[in-house]
Amino acid sequence: MDVDTGSDDAIALLLAMLSGRFELLGITVCRGNSDVETCTRNTLQVVDMLGLDIPVYQGCPDPMVRELSRGRVMNNALNRTSIVKDGKEYKVHPYTLPIPPARSEKQDRHACSFIVETLKSSKEKITLIPTGPLTNIGMALRMDPSIVKNIEEIVLMGGAVGTGNASACAEANFFHDPEAAKIVLGSGAKVRIVPLNATRSAGLYREDAAKLIALGTMAGKLAGDLINMRTDASDVMGTRGGDGEPIHDALAVAWVLDESVITESREEHCDVDFSGGACDGQLVIDSRRGYEHEPNARVAYKGDRKRFMEIMLDAFAKGPKC
């Protein structure tokens, strides 16, 4: 897994580690929801909470090239993930997760080196699940494009078909490093994309959070608390409407665990805009017939909220008790 651990990445990590279905070789971390050091610390917190021995590798502290163009970010409105109201700050992503501090340390090796070396030395193909900006994956593919032959598939959370969240048309992960996203989509790897369309269709509610907390496990409590925290922030900011709170990154993990959790998906040709204008970071899908582009990704459009919750409840019933 490659993460930028904030709230939904934490839930995605818990789901991957507790599912019992993965041999999780390592967790790599990039900048995204916060700086890479904070995201790494949060990742270590989650791993240590479950008492697992899974190596964590810190990766790229900045996007590949995006911030080299002066004023590029100013072409888009601020991507708001927190707000202060009546003296209280409401956050979509906490600066520190509400669990015990990390005890373990990150690995000395850089995340991109770990990705390249692990793929090159593996006798079996490996699935990558990136749930943050694709900087580490894109950089690893630039370092050694031959690693693609050992990638089983890349199942990523990113992009939006229509309304974005980081801008009017761009989702945050693609927005923060569109060049890396373009490299991944053009790599030749088998790719599945979980965009905002799918995650918004399978949002969770406060009653779902209560069910997770009622499991009496540390994982269930953390997941439930983070869902409530995200819901509070979205309500105050007015970004959620009447739908459930999307737990974007965990849906990507759930799709690897059970393909039935996505009820509508299409094989399409995908690209990413990185022109620096108002559409910077937009996922571009060419669905026209009669053109030369072949599909290069399977794009999820709708998720099964009930099945998603069942997968979560089954996994989060495991692990240490509160």
The Cα 138–Cα 179 span in angstroms is 8
At position 259, the amino acid (one-letter code) is E
The Cα 167–Cα 163 span in angstroms is 8
At position 287, the amino acid (one-letter code) is S
Structure tokens at 52: 């697992």
CB atoms within 10 A of CB 220: 26
Place of tokens 């000395």: 108
At position 10, the amino acid (one-letter code) is A
The Cα 23–Cα 12 span in angstroms is 15
Q: How remote is the C-alpha of 87 from its chain's centroid? A: 30
Residue 273 among the catalytic residues? no
Q: Which of 4, 8, 9, 271 is catalytic?
A: 4
Residue 303 contacts residue 201 (beta carbons within 8 Å): yes
Q: Computed over its alpha carbons, how large is the radius of gyration of the chain?
A: 18
End-to-end CA distance of the chain: 26
The Cα 150–Cα 123 span in angstroms is 8
Residue 193 contacts residue 158 (beta carbons within 8 Å): yes
Place of tokens 């509160």: 322
Looking at the annotation, which residues are catalytic?
4
